[in-house]
Amino acid sequence: MNRAKEIVSGCNKRRAWVPLAAALVLGLSSAPNAVAETWRLEAWERMLDYSSPSRRLDHQPLDTAARPWRLCALYPHLKDSYWLSVNAGMIEQARRLGVALTVKEAGGYDHAEGQREQLKQCADGRADAIILGSVSADLHTPAIVEVGRRIPVLATVNRVRPEGVDAMAGVDWYRMGYLTGRFLAERHPKGSPMVRAALFPGPPVDGGSAGKMRGFTDALSDAAVEIAAVRYGDTGKLVQLSLIEDVLEEDPSIDYIVGAGVAAEAAVGALRARGLQGRIHVVADYFTHGVYRGIKRGHILAAPTDQPLLQGRISIDQAVRVLEGLPVPKHVGPEVILVTQDSVDGIDLGASLSPPEFKPTFGVPVPGAADGMADDRASNRHLQPNRHL
């Protein structure tokens, strides 16, 4: 741990935080081996404040790290392919840069205490920086502040409070909800026959489901769409299927099921089993492998993608930049793109979805480690998921 403190202390002394405007002038490519690849991103002026001004940014990711840093990434879960795609992006970028990566997943959004313990495990281990996909917008704030005094903490995908956070990779989930709602509003403008939608936004996590809901309802302010029911729940497929079945039993006259990627996937099977495909339509509010297949096959009408695989890559790039004192975009995210049956064949799947053969991967070892592990002290507990949660 003393070694980690010395590394971070040294980095902190030479960390000259470059304001965003200066970083833009530099092109964020001050690393000598920047690759030709460019990521088209949105950069917010104030970190974790989506109400602040934003601008487009052409960002060149690093080609290699100066040393084999040890990163630790925490996810809410790996129950659906959204976080699998984030995982794939992180693994790809860690291997590309030559850094070690340990991955832990909490087991669900109701495991805040377990994830807080994982955060401390990473900090007390040999991690040089932590990337947190949080299960809560604010429950971890004291722990983040405490850990952030010792090593950098970065946030990914899910919103947290900015205290103690060095950088963020993520998009405004309000926009995800707004694009979903606008799709329905354009199909059913004010003055047309009223339709009724049941919503399944996922867990009631502030900054996630809450942001999507605000965007969705704002987009419907001038549309002939009535929200008939709202059901929150963890994004496990069985949980979402149960919620959908309950609503269909109570109100089979709904016209739309709109929900999280897993909910949309579950809805396709539930409607088929009841002979309701074609009468009740399905729209997803984020993009997964199953949603992609559903759109391709005509079972799901549309979904926005925030390019989760690319977000995973961005987080690794940010972490290495923070550790090496390089210019870093404090809060950036990919463009949010609405995918429909008309546009699905033209999107860049490589930025949104993990490859078909990719499986959950819980570690990238230190490059050159003789035994294939991170080192003799980073044993299986670092490279395997926490199964007790």
Whether residue 365 has pLDDT greater than 60: yes
Query: Which of the four pLDDT bands, split at 50, 70 and 90, describes residue 268?
Result: very high
Closest by CA position to 183, among listed 258, 269, 244, 255: 258
pLDDT at 377: 33
pLDDT at 160: 96
Token pair of 321 as six digits: 């930049």
pLDDT at 366: 84
pLDDT at 374: 44
pLDDT at 369: 63
Whether residue 5 has pLDDT greater than 90: no
HSE (side-chain half, CA atoms, 13 Å) at 148: 20
Whether residue 19 has pLDDT greater than 80: no
The pTM of the full predicted model, rounded to 2 decimals, is: 0.85
- Please tell me the class of the 2-171+307-335+354-383 domain: alpha beta
Percent of the chain with pLDDT over 90: 80
What value does the mean pLDDT of the chain take? 87
User: Which has the minimum average pLDDT: 43-57, 279-293, 319-333, 375-389?
Assistant: 375-389
Find out whether 177 and 211 touch, Cβ atoms under 8 Å.
yes
Q: Please state the domain extents for the chain.
A: 2-171+307-335+354-383, 173-305
Domains 2-171+307-335+354-383 and 173-305 share a fold: yes
The CATH fold assigned to 173-305 is Rossmann fold (3.40.50)
Average of per-residue pLDDT across 114-132: 96
Average of per-residue pLDDT across 190-214: 87
